[in-house]
Amino acid sequence: MSAVTPELVTSVQAWLAEDPDPATRAELAATLDAALAGDAAAAGGIADAFAGTLQFGTAGLRGALGPGPNRMNRVVVGRAAAGLAQYLLDTGQAGRPVVIGYDARHNSEVFARDTAAIMAGAGFAARLCPRPLPTPVLAGAILRHGAAAGVVVTASHNPPQDNGYKVYLGDGAQIVPPADAQIAARIASVGPLAGIPRNEAYETLDEAVVEDYLARVTSLVLPGGPRDVTVAYTAMHGVGSPLMRAALTGAGFPEPLAVAAQDQPDPDFPTVSFPNPEEPGAMDLVLDVAAHGRVDLVLANDPDADRCAVGIPTGAGGYRMCTGDEVGALLGWWILERGRRAGQRVTGTYANSIVSSQLLGAIARDAGLPFRETLTGFKWIARAADDLAFGYEEALGYCVDPAGVRDKDGISAGLLVAELAAAVKAQGRTVQDVLDDLARQHGVHATRQVSLRFADLAAIPAVMADLRAVPPAALGGLAVRRAVDLEAGSPDLPPTDGLAYHLAGAPGVAGARVIVRPSGTEPKVKAYLEVQAPVGPAGLPAARTAAAAVLDAIAADVGARLVR
């Protein structure tokens, strides 16, 4: 007997009548037939696809492709575009430009063209990027075009079956509350798709949008500096390769060695199990190219090139990938050092997310610069201060040019890392030497992430509730001296679902911090660990060993608590 209810059949038939996409209509019709014939898997799939509506939030939309209101498809995207258009009209933005970009994922261009037509139909000057491009090109174009808003169709580093819809406002930064809820309310009030006005006479931008972006990025590199650095690079089957190559060579650096199997866009990401540079195995091919080429530096972008991963030599032909916190500290230091070398005083605020290392704050304070911690996500980092000079998050996101791109940018970040590597190479030093210097000056800041993926999303609130009900008294042998429920908010941070544990010190360790929060983009609970250890008379290796041992112990205890 079929598990498909008459009410669900009615909803499916109504969807079929509205869906403009023949592919998703055919998929849904076939699945419904199978479900009605008793196929339990088909019935479960339809039930899930119609179990509510894909929710619009501060990350916009992100989910699996397919038919139904709980999936990414032309109906859901069309309603999102119409709701966004109404929000912009209601906030006095009528007639202004709206810029739309997209990556090379399945259906990205289709969703982008639908958005452009709906924006034009609402009276906006809709401007569509000319081809699949990195997300930071779109983010920068918002500022250069004086746009009311921007949209980029991308699921960043999510699996191949996903796509997403990211919204920026006119300040060039991603949306934050209350705009997300206000847009969501207007999406919910959108009527039938057929009643949404469309105008196909929107403008398709020419290559000037790319040229303007590249001119800005290459101008960031100091003229006349060293350029002798060899790079191995992977685009991770995404859209970053042409622009990363153009940025490096345009700034005078040698052509990078490419991972041929990953250099061209491929929405199926065939050489990686998960197209995220942080995932185990994702960097294997580029590290192999690096080892064979004996390069100075490894760079990788995620599929929409707003993130940048960095690898460095370890000696004897080996390489290791740096953590996002290490790269954040390197870039923060380099921005200051570049200023010193140019005879300029660096001004402005440094910022990173609360789950990132506290090392950048130490670097900023030592330089006399203001520093801000924000909630997780570049929507918050970008708004940390009007005079933001540099911001980063540990998940490989870096903003090195807030005036040009007020978001994370994997192209410009990679270019400045190459500049740093060339500069220290010219002095007979390495990137690792800089990390060692920072540790000696500010102490070792050892960081790690522990995460647990859930098939049942309902289990995530239960984990957080358990931690609130029975907070740990100690982690990794260090007493919890202060526990902070981030849901309460503070003068510096808006409320968020998270818990922070500040741990006491121990011999050889100054202290530690653990922050636990649900992921905003994946079905995970994540814990971010940091141990600080001063470099004493025993030297840097001893401090790193002490920090690593405590980090291991904390990670074991945190992992055990997440699966309770």
Residues 6+ apart with CB under 8 A from 206: 130
3-class secondary-structure state, position 144: helix
* CATH T-level topology, domain 443-562: TATA-Binding Protein (3.30.310)
Q: Is the pLDDT of residue 344 over 90?
A: no
Dump pLDDT digits (tens) for 185-212.
999 999 999 999 999 999 999 999 999 9
3-class secondary-structure state, position 53: coil
Tell me the percentage of the chain whose pLDDT exceeds 90: 90
Q: Distance between terminal CA atoms of the chain?
A: 38
CA angle 269/273/278 to nearest 5° reads 100
Q: What is the pLDDT of residue 89?
A: 98
Mean pLDDT value across residues 8-27: 96
3-class secondary-structure state, position 174: strand
Residues 6+ apart with CB under 8 A from 30: none
Dump pLDDT digits (tens) for 67-123.
999 999 999 999 999 999 999 999 999 999 999 999 999 999 999 999 999 999 999
Q: Is the pLDDT of residue 2 over 60?
A: no
CATH 3.30.310.50 residue window(s) in the chain: 443-562
What is the DSSP track for 32-46? HHHHHTT-HHHHHHH
Beta strands in 200-326 (DSSP E): 203-204, 231-234, 257-258, 297-301, 308-315, 318-321
3-state secondary structure 508-525: CECEEEEEEEECCCCCEE
Beta strands in 355-396 (DSSP E): 371-374, 388-393
Residues 6+ apart with CB under 8 A from 304: 103, 134, 135, 152, 154, 156, 157, 238, 239, 240
Report CA Rg, the chain: 24
CATH number of 211-321: 3.40.120.10
Q: Which residues are known to be catalytic? A: 156
Q: What is the pLDDT of residue 1?
A: 40
At 54, the amino acid letter reads: L
Residues 6+ apart with CB under 8 A from 403: none
Selection from 543, 531, 343 nearest residue 441 by Cα: 543
What is the DSSP track for 461-517? HHHHHHHHHS--SEETTEEEEEEEEGGG--SSS---S-EEEEEP-BTTB-EEEEEEE
3-class secondary-structure state, position 234: strand
pTM of the shown model: 0.95
At the second CATH level, the architecture of 56-206 is 3-Layer(aba) Sandwich (3.40)
Q: Are 21 and 73 a contacting pair, CB within 8 Å?
A: yes
CATH 3.40.120.10 residue window(s) in the chain: 56-206, 211-321, 328-439
Q: Tell me if the bond preceding 523 is cis, omega within 30° of 0.
A: no
Q: Is the pLDDT of residue 522 over 80?
A: no
Q: What is the pLDDT of residue 564?
A: 64
Cα distance between residue 163 and residue 108, in whole Å:
7
Quick one: pLDDT band at residue 491, thresholds 50, 70, 90? confident
Mean pLDDT value across residues 359-365: 98
Mean pLDDT value across residues 530-545: 97
Residues 6+ apart with CB under 8 A from 368: none
Cα distance between residue 132 and residue 92, in whole Å:
30
Mean pLDDT value across residues 428-440: 98
Q: What is the pLDDT of residue 300?
A: 98
Tokens of 516: 């636990």
At the second CATH level, the architecture of 328-439 is 3-Layer(aba) Sandwich (3.40)
On average, the pLDDT of the chain sits at: 95
